[in-house]
Chain A
Amino acid sequence: MTWFRHPAVSIAVTVLAYALAVALHRRWRWVPPIVAACAPIMLLLLAIGEPYAEFNRGGSLLTWWLGPATVALAVPMYRQGKALRSSLPRLTVVVVTGSVVGMAAAGLTAWLLGAPLPVVMSTIPKSVTTPIAVELCRELKGIPQITIALVICAGVMGASFGVPLLRLAGVRNGLAIGAAMGTASHGVGTASLLRHSELQASVSSWAMAAAGVFTSLLAALLMLFLP
């Protein structure tokens, strides 16, 4: 189907699927928008026998905007940073430690279970927000699709089990809950906190942006040791 090969068509299809997914998500909160948006596109491509590469000629134009979306994270970081001023040094220590532990735990577990290097590298940026995770995965020569799948799972797990698990571990301090959710489950975790408390959500959105920055710096160090 040659008409489908025009980039504008794949962009239109993507936007339409996204709009439907958002509507579904409003109606049934448990439907993750990313899954609801991707599944129909995958089915459509399979149904008309169109290869992903063709679809992605238009798709990559949307992907490009992940760069500016990353830049835009400076806004919550700046705004929440001002409100959290007095706790920032300690928050930084907490988020950096969490990021290091996450990268090490993800990479080591995959490596010990015998995954090949590109898969190991794909697991390392899994805690941070998607646009940064994708860029980091490319830098580390991983497979972006695997990273995206992991990032989404980390987010959904945080939104579903994060707060109850933290309570179980005796964490009731709002700043600590926010920091943990933002570092472990980025934007999805942050959004789920809005229902609990605005303070937690704002700490979480600062932690999400900060974890992305610190993880990038740590990954740059890691790359010095790569062949």
Chain B
Amino acid sequence: MIDYARGFAVIVAFGLLGTLLHRLGIPIPGGVLGLLLFFLALTTGLVKLRWVERAAALLLRNMVLLFVPLTVGLMEMGQVLHRQALAIIASLLVSWLAVLLTTGLLGRWLLPPDATTAPAESREAVTEAAQ
């Protein structure tokens, strides 16, 4: 329990710091600024991975819960969605294919074959249901 409390405290603190910097005029979302600072703190050893691991895994695993309320708002978007359906669906299909194939083909050309890299030992960090 204390483990989670410490993890959440660190994560929320970085989130607030990011939000503050964003309010001060940096044109990057506060959460992403927080992510970058947090990443920097982990890299420099200022924050130890074991302090935050469990809280981070809990947040990432249950991320879906956090965007349920926003998604429920789709019920009021019927008109916009209906009127712009073609543009929205076409844009989704075209850009999804474009990203997947560009990244995949460029990766096939640039990245080394499998045998030379090993995955990190734990699969806990890989988010399970996060969308």
Contacts and interface: CB of A to CB of B under 8 A. Distances in A.
B72 interface: yes
A122 to B, nearest CB: 8
A166 B100 contact: yes
B111 interface: yes
Interface size class of A (residues with CB under 8 A): 35 or more
Given A70-B34, A199-B117, A201-B123, A34 B64 contact: yes
Contacts, number: 399
Interface size class of B (residues with CB under 8 A): 35 or more
A139 B29 contact: yes
Interface in A92-119: 93-95, 97-99, 101-103, 105-107, 109-110, 113-116, 119
B131 A186 contact: yes
A1 to B, nearest CB: 17
A9 B17 CA distance: 30
Interface of A: 10, 14-15, 17-18, 21-22, 25, 33-34, 37-38, 41-42, 45-46, 52, 55-56, 58-60, 62-63, 65-80, 82-84, 86-87, 90-91, 93-95, 97-99, 101-103, 105-107, 109-110, 113-116, 119, 123, 126-127, 129-132, 134-136, 138-139, 143-146, 148-155, 157-158, 162, 165-166, 169-177, 179-181, 183-188, 190-191, 194, 198-199, 201-205, 207-209, 212-213, 216-217, 220, 223-224
Interface of B: 8, 11-12, 14-15, 18-19, 27-32, 34-36, 38-39, 42-43, 49, 52-53, 55-57, 59-60, 62-77, 80-81, 84, 86-88, 90-92, 94-108, 110-114, 116-120, 122-123, 125-131
27 contacts: A34-B131, A56-B73, A60-B69, A72-B52, A76-B125, A76-B127, A78-B42, A93-B106, A106-B94, A109-B87, A126-B92, A127-B95, A135-B31, A145-B76, A145-B77, A154-B96, A162-B100, A184-B100, A184-B103, A187-B60, A191-B126, A191-B128, A194-B123, A199-B117, A202-B126, A205-B125, A212-B32
